[in-house]
Amino acid sequence: MKIDIITVVPEILSGPFSHSIMKRAQTKGLLEVNVINLREYTTYARAQVDDYPFGGGAGMVIMIEPLVNALEALQKTTEYDEVIFLTPDGETFNQKMANQLSLKKNLLMICGHYKGIDQRFRDHFVTKEISIGDYVLSGGELAAAVLTDSIGRLIPGVLNDETSALSDSFQDDLLAPPVYTRPENYKGWKVPEVLMSGNHKNIDQWRAEQSLERTRLRRPDLLNE
Ligand code: 6GU
């Protein structure tokens, strides 16, 4: 799978994919992530990519021309399954969307900044608009990193047994159960006995109960769907 990300602040995205599971996904050749600097696609002086909004108001708006230039240049070599604009007024991202997007071959993500991007680009080129939650970020870059991580780790072969996605919170609409490791007794705080029993039937049952209980307490909304 390939994920291309267009941004005016590529520096923000130099770190998130260079470590841990995202790094391994790329080393294994299962995921390719390219960060594209929008400023390389403008024909305006001083690499300008944004301008004042028509009608007035605070903030700057990213112009349509550099966006179309970048998109058309990238489309010469890549056919995108989705052109995703990261925006707080998009559809709220969730695990189901991550699962669906992980089945695609090529994704393009566009990060807005300032007040956003010219509406005409959204109307004519964007196929999906996604938000990562009901709060405001300074730009779409951190959201693009969140999507790329959650999608990338679902690509078959990226996770191994220890990091299996099957036991993740949300994968089955249940929160994950508590986990423990050494020492078995820390200053009198003991690990639940069942986990030390070696009885895997009981352990699985305990974990399932804990998942359900935790979900009931913390996220009852997940159970009533
Ligand atoms: Cl995708 N972008 C911005 N700027 N803020 C957000 C967001 C996206 N999702 C939640 N807040």
What CATH number did the domain enclosing 193 receive? 1.10.1270.20
The reply to whether 29 falls in a domain is yes
CATH number at residue 95: 3.40.1280.10
| Residue 163 pLDDT greater than 80, yes or no | no
Q: Is residue 158 part of a domain?
A: no
* pLDDT tens column, 67-112: 999 999 999 999 999 999 999 999 999 999 999 999 999 999 999 9
Same domain as 110, residue 31: yes
Q: Which of 137, 146, 147 to mutate to test the pocket of ligand 1 (most atoms within 8 A of CB)?
A: 137
Q: Is the CB of 88 under 6 A from ligand 1?
A: yes
Boundary residue ending a domain (105, 125, 152): 152
Q: How far apart are CA 149 and CA 83, in angstroms?
A: 17
DSSP string, 136-172: --SBSHHHHHHHHHHHHTTSTTSS-GGG-GGGSTTTT
Q: Is the C-beta atom of 136 inside 6 A of ligand 1?
A: yes
Percent of the chain with pLDDT over 70: 97
For residues 61, 65, 70 and 75, what is the CA-based torsion angle, rounded to 10 degrees? 130
- Is the model's pLDDT at 217 over the cut of 70? yes
Identify the three-state secondary structure at position 17.
Answer: coil
Distance CA 192, CA 190 (A): 6
Distance CA(114)–CA(60), nearest Å, equals 5
Burial 121-137 (b: 16+ CB within 10 A, else e): bbeebbebbbbbeeeeb
> Pick from 100, 168, 192, 85: which is nearest to 131 by CA?
85
Dig out the tokens for 79 from the structure: 């056919």
Domain end marker among 127, 152, 177: 152
What pTM was computed for the model? 0.94
Same domain, 59 and 124: yes
Cβ contact 85:110 at 8 Å: yes
**Which amino acid is located at 42 in the chain?**
T
- Averaged over 158-176, what is the pLDDT? 80
Determine if ligand 1 sits within 6 Å of the CB of residue 139: yes
**Looking at the domain assignment, is residue 162 inside a domain?**
no
> Does residue 133 line the site of ligand 1, with CB under 6 A?
yes
What is the rounded average pLDDT of the residues 185-198? 98
Q: Do the domain assignments include residue 218?
A: yes
Which range (114-123, 141-150, 187-196, 203-212) has the least confidence? 114-123
133 Cα: distance to centroid of ligand 1 (angstroms): 7
Q: Please give the tally of structural domains in the chain.
A: 2
**Atom 5 of ligand 1 has which residue's CA nearest to it?**
137
Residues 9 and 117 in one domain: yes
Is residue 93 within 8 Å of residue 146, measured between CB atoms? yes
Identify whether 30 is part of a domain.
yes
Q: 99, 124, 152 — which closes off a domain?
A: 152
pLDDT at residue 172 in the model: 83
